[in-house]
A and B are shown apart, each in its own frame.
Chain A
Amino acid sequence: MIVQALAFYLFAAIVVASAVMVIASRNPVHSVLFLILAFFNAAGLFVLLGAEFLAMILVVVYVGAVAVLFLFVVMMLDVNIAELRQGFLQYLPVGGLIGLILLVELGMVVGAWAISPEAGASARLPIPPPDQITNTEALGLVLYDDYVYLFQIAGLILLVAMIGAIVLTLRQREGVRRQSIARQVARPRSEAIEVKDVTSGSGV
């Protein structure tokens, strides 16, 4: 029990600290790296909760894809952090207000549990109960058995999105010189080199 509590506080402290560093650090690349650290520790928290599937998805999707994409964008676009910070005070009231609203909403959710404990019990429980089946298996049963029809259509939608993106953006430009390694390698010496007899005093 004590080990779990220690692990929880360790992960939670690192998540909060790195989240602060994401907005506090001066270098945008450092911000993204702190974000990745926050993701990893949040994944640790999920493991502590017994939600190992969510933890792995967080690492695979957020760290593997989203954060790396962020990193690419940050490195490719020359973001001037000083310029971005200029409006900080100006947007602070609005940002603070949104933060406050989120805090109140969170309070209401937790408050509802505290006020009427039976509300939590009436929420739909995963079927079958979580102690009989791992949550990866439970999700798989729902996704590939009950909703396989929707899963397949979602796949088709993604395929159409991919075709659409290619159809609308790929252009075959003319006059582009492409490197053909096979042709380069296959070139005989006679084609590549020409020996010229240059008389001294005159150019080629």
Chain B
Amino acid sequence: MSTSLASDLAAAAPELFLAGSAIVLLMIGVFQGDGASRSIMRLSVSALVVALLLVIFPLAGDGLYFNQLFIKDAYGSFMKLLVLIGAPLTILMGWRFIERERMDRLELPVLLLFATLGMLLMISANDLISLYVGLELQSLSLYVAAAIRRDSLRASEAGLKYFLLGALSSGMLLYGLSMVYGFAGTTGFTDLAAAFAQGAAAGEAVSVGLIVGLVFVAAGIAFKISAVPFHMWTPDVYEGAPTAITAFFAVAPKLAAMALFVRVLMGPFGELAGQWQQIVVFISIASMALGAFAAIAQSNIKRLMAYSSIGNVGYALVGLSAGTEEGIRGVIIFMTIYLAMTLGTFACILAMRINERSVEAIDDLRGLSKTHPLMAAALAIFMFSLAGIPPLAGFFGKFYVFLAAVDAGLYTLAVIGVLTSVVGAYYYLRIVKLMYFDEPAEVLDKPIGREVGVVMGLSAGAILLFFLVPGVVVDGAEAAAYALFAG
């Protein structure tokens, strides 16, 4: 247990660096004006890369810091790694879109930097209060980012909806946290886990108030990962927000919220697994089913991706409901692969433009293989992978979570998961059919910028070649899951 300030600061070096650079960039922006927004974007991306390096080469060892409010462990480092890969790539590939839509305000990269900082704090939370403040920093920045195009009715509506429902979920979360604190008498994750273990050893029944608190906490975080029945905001926000911002929403915050959900349920509430398992199983089944069936009727590709992300959250929760080290490993692998698939798909959506205007209808992809063979091939890879067809990476993501569910005896859950994934394959494959077997209606413009192409190529390569070297991700995920259980 380290107490000295120097080691505290060293442990939180990536977070401190991000906070400092966000403030410095804001000052640069104040003096340079909106014209400097591109260089501020570049600087904030480099700040994220430096933070990534600080996560890879840490300045302090694993442990609890800041009076046990902050935890640094292999699990947190792995999830931070994913967030810090996803966030700068989404900013980079989306920037040309943002400039073209004339929303390149200098505050936008700074806000996204703060949002990423919030995500890192969420992942490192070791206390109910640090959980809440991290979550709030992230959400608040994203509410503003969603509504940054003030003149667009749809974007403002999306921002407002996101804000209202987010505030509601924060309220529920806070209520749950206060119940837990009231009945357990502490907010620290370490103390909570110790108290529950003691109670279980003494054979005491878990008090009802604590379970009510746990349910509210689970509901609050389920809002953030948009699991059914708390998913209502997702399709509207994904559709209404500018595509570049939607891409950001779909990648890093999902990862961070999922990381937080896993840490909260496995860490302090690990002893109460019997209580939360039913909740997670239910929201997992509901998310998978809704994600599969509601997406069939969509004609807008951003809405489709929203339902697809709801379904994918359901699959990730299959691993969590197993509640075993193997299950958590499955969740981490699944989220890593989800990162690559979502990044690639959104790179394709960003490249969908006709006559200098962005289009979002699925029908606009008709005959893409004849006009843009490379982009069509990349999108086909992402769709096959999302559908879970071997040997692409998406198959392995689902394989590991279902394997964990079967090993934990949750056969029904695994069977439902496989069935919904078959239903989901229908709409993923429909896009492939449109691209390869239909006649082109209108020709898409040449993709803008190298960044989009590079992201597309990188993620397609990662998904294609995953089965050759799965060890890189699987070993990392295994170490991360082990750290979560050892602590």
Contacts and interface: CB of A to CB of B under 8 A. Distances in A.
A168 interface: yes
Interface in B96-150: 105, 107, 110-111, 114, 117, 121, 129-130, 133-134, 136-137, 140-141, 143-144, 147-148, 150
A102 interface: no
A124 to B, nearest CB: 9
A156 B144 contact: no
Contacts of B117: 156
A195 interface: no
B67 interface: yes
Nearest to B147: A168
Contacts of B111: 160, 163-164, 167
Interface in A122-163: 145-150, 152-154, 156-157, 159-161, 163
A48 B180 CA distance: 35
B69 interface: yes
B140 A157 contact: yes
Chain B, interface size category, equals: 20 to 34
Contacts of B23: 159
Chain A, interface size category, equals: 10 to 19
A153 B144 contact: no
Interface in B18-44: 19, 23, 26
Contacts of A150: 69, 129-130, 133
A164 B67 contact: no
Contact of A168 (B19, B141, B144): B144
Contacts of B69: 147, 149-150
B143 A153 contact: no
Contacts of B141: 160, 164
B275 to A, nearest CB: 27
A147 B67 contact: yes
Nearest to B127: A150
B395 interface: no
Contacts of B107: 163, 166-167
Contacts of A146: 67
Nearest to B129: A150
Nearest to A167: B107
Contacts of A154: 133
B144 A164 contact: yes
B121 to A, nearest CB: 6
A133 B335 CA distance: 51
A163 B130 contact: no
A146 B12 CA distance: 16
A164 B26 contact: no
B110 A163 contact: yes
A182 to B, nearest CB: 20
Contact of A164 (B19, B134, B143): B143
B293 interface: no
B137 A157 contact: yes
B130 A149 contact: yes
Contacts of A164: 111, 140-141, 143-144
A150 B132 CA distance: 10
The 7 A-B residue pairs with the shortest CB-CB distance, nearest first, are A164-B144, A149-B66, A153-B133, A167-B107, A149-B69, A160-B140, A146-B67
